[in-house]
Structure 1
């Protein structure tokens, strides 16, 4: 008696294709393509992210409930924003409420942009009973050292006149006193974990203002002013808490939000993709996998430095599972791909024009899914 071979199990774990499709949508189109050639293929879809934009969507795809609350946007305006909740765990994405992309139409605000909205979301999650809060801090519009975030969590930062200082890095110039007595009580019993993939300190030539300020619209004069304000802030926090975290790796992440969370809120930092893998159960999905498909909008040099597809490939290689990748464009050499643990890479622009790849990537992804089924899983040609 001939026993039929078990159907292959494919784990589809892409990041978003920025500007076109969410990670979940990418996975769905690839699954459709696979099944068009292998109807019995077992597909496990695990959308992932690297801790920045897309982290909340990945968490929601893994079963976190979206909770929408009042918050403050990157220039202090009232808005609505969401965090993810599952049991006593919460996921907060800075880009959801304080992201640089939110200022695309209104214009950048390098001196006045605030991280306050991220603190609003953390506070709301703690109010709802969260005992573990994962904070993805990529894509920040502000360089305020976490000032706004901490104010939203109950810290009082005042100037020489005794009044609360204004928003943004500009507000730090006036800070002379820090009162933590009103800090949210939920922080004492909660674990706060920051998804962080950069190692910049808070201040200096490799700090938040110097390295990331220009991306947020800061002029050379603005950068100098912001760095001096962050130095003043670090001095004040150290004098208040008795510990100096300005040179910690990642203190300069997200305009100093990493510093504020670690130095005042007692947070720890972890690589972003590792945290997302925990939230989504990616490592569990690998156990039965025959093949892993990952990808993002462009596979380029940045992919190799902490981006989700590289982390997916590394984890799959450790588990002994082959990996292929899909992207709008593939700008890495075969040697680069092999070194990253990616056996083959497929580009949307191989299946259609650049315009199609941006305007209608879904059908192209389905074609690539069918190709992968034929070329890697023995599907009929």
Structure 2
């Protein structure tokens, strides 16, 4: 039996690659004769760089940069392999400007900036990249990508032509944008934004109202951040005539999607579709008899743009069934029906029994292994007793 192992990361517990390895150990325990293809995936957030580098035989590169609150850190970008015609670099915003990089006590939703991500992209371009894939997800910021743009020489000025500080809180004072220090070559580098949300830049469904509270913003700060992003949209309209305020995906990563669309040669693509294309997901599904995927929580969001539903739809188009595992699994009928429609025929929770969250997170890889061993044993028995089995 050929089994494709194509999970996302289990957030705050294990990377997609670690989960795929744990799955493989479990499959071999349950069915030593099974063949496994490991294809760790990402929907554009955490794990995007490693997933694409792993899938294409690319390379990882360490860079000195700063986190969302300006502290020095080491982050990574990757170059794709597989003889891609362009020199494509993959960057995760979460790697430098991610929420998980900053402890709750140190988070500052008004001053948090994407400047470190800009430094990471600059390093990739300096190393020879002529195309960037930027994963938008997991950010600690609501600055509309202005910090990132600042790293390339863009200036954001107030009414007195003074530079405003980094961070989304300062955007309420933005009067105009100056690009006199930005080279045309930088502006023209193609940037593909891997994004799994469709939120606009501003308003009730925008970046500030939906995502900033998760980054520590109070109700008052949310309103100020929303005003700042609206101000940024007006400034971009005055700068080059681009209207980005209500564009789907502009609200991704604290409005970084909007800033990138407004200031750079950027386009938006659904993260999982982009990853599956670059990682040769169609070929992997064609090879497999069954697909096993997973993420930290199989819930009402899973059927919509997440890794399990993305790989399941691709497998379903080729007549291959998909099984999904998760740290937690929602069983309500609407979610189950939506999962079934994507091609996920069964879901399994990996928790062995009642336990506190800390213990469950610490034992994630072990519990994934045990769960996949049970799945593999069941699949082996089913195949052996099927009247349709052929030699």
TM-score over 0.5 (shorter chain): yes
Unpaired stretches in structure 1, ≥5 consecutive residues: 1-7
Which of 80-89 and 128-137 deviates more? 80-89
Listed one character per residue, the Cα deviations across residues 301-324 of structure 1 (whole Å, up to 9, x for unaligned) are 121222111111111111211111
Q: Look up the SS of the partner of 2:53 in the other structure.
A: helix
C-alpha distance in 1, partners of 2:283/2:128?
A: 27
C-alpha distance in 1, partners of 2:245/2:142?
A: 14
Listed one character per residue, the Cα deviations across residues 78-106 of structure 1 (whole Å, up to 9, x for unaligned) are 32211111361111101111111222244
Cα deviation for residue 374 of structure 1 reads 2.2
Q: Look up the SS of the partner of 1:287 in the other structure.
A: helix
Q: Look up the SS of the partner of 1:173 in the other structure.
A: helix
Cα deviation for residue 233 of structure 1 reads 1.5
Matches within 5 A, 1:254-269: 254-269=253-268
Question: Aligned pairs, how many?
Answer: 373
The aligned counterpart of 1:376 is 379
The aligned counterpart of 1:340 is 342
The runs of 4+ residues in structure 1 deviating greater than 4 Å are none
Q: Is 1:56 paired with 2:57?
A: no
Contact preservation (8 Å) 1:136, 1:194 = yes
Contact preservation (8 Å) 1:13, 1:293 = yes
Are the structure 2 counterparts of residues 41 and 186 from structure 1 closer, same or farther at C-alpha, using a change threshold of 3 Å?
farther
The aligned counterpart of 1:354 is 355
Which of 298-307 and 183-192 deviates more? 183-192
Q: Look up the SS of the partner of 2:323 in the other structure.
A: strand
Listed one character per residue, the Cα deviations across residues 253-283 of structure 1 (whole Å, up to 9, x for unaligned) are 1111001111111200011111121232222
Contact preservation (8 Å) 1:301, 1:332 = no
Matches within 5 A, 1:1-381: 8-62=1-55, 63-86=57-80, 88-333=87-332, 334-349=336-351, 351-355=352-356, 357-378=360-381
C-alpha distance in 1, partners of 2:278/2:181?
A: 31
C-alpha distance in 1, partners of 2:104/2:228?
A: 27
C-alpha distance in 2, partners of 1:184/1:40?
A: 57
Cα deviation for residue 353 of structure 1 reads 4.4
Contact preservation (8 Å) 1:60, 1:66 = yes
Contact preservation (8 Å) 2:69, 2:107 = no
Contact preservation (8 Å) 2:112, 2:142 = yes
Unpaired stretches in structure 2, ≥5 consecutive residues: 82-86, 386-391
Contact preservation (8 Å) 2:77, 2:120 = yes
Cα deviation for residue 184 of structure 1 reads 4.5
Cα deviation for residue 297 of structure 1 reads 1.4
Contact preservation (8 Å) 1:112, 1:170 = yes
Which of 113-122 and 368-377 deviates more? 368-377
Listed one character per residue, the Cα deviations across residues 101-147 of structure 1 (whole Å, up to 9, x for unaligned) are 22224432111111111111111111112122111111111111111
TM-score under structure 2 length normalisation: 0.90
Cα deviation for residue 193 of structure 1 reads 0.4
Are the structure 2 counterparts of residues 129 and 234 from structure 1 closer, same or farther at C-alpha, using a change threshold of 3 Å?
same
Contact preservation (8 Å) 1:352, 1:364 = no
Q: Look up the SS of the partner of 1:44 in the other structure.
A: strand
C-alpha distance in 1, partners of 2:116/2:340?
A: 41
C-alpha distance in 2, partners of 1:226/1:166?
A: 14
Listed one character per residue, the Cα deviations across residues 228-268 of structure 1 (whole Å, up to 9, x for unaligned) are 22222111111111222111111111111001111111200
Contact preservation (8 Å) 1:132, 1:192 = yes
Contact preservation (8 Å) 2:189, 2:265 = no
C-alpha distance in 1, partners of 2:274/2:355?
A: 33
Cα deviation for residue 52 of structure 1 reads 0.8
Which of 63-72 and 358-367 deviates more? 358-367
Contact preservation (8 Å) 2:291, 2:315 = yes
Aligned Cα root-mean-square deviation (Å): 2.0
Q: Look up the SS of the partner of 2:173 in the other structure.
A: coil
Contact preservation (8 Å) 1:374, 1:380 = no
Contact preservation (8 Å) 2:7, 2:20 = yes
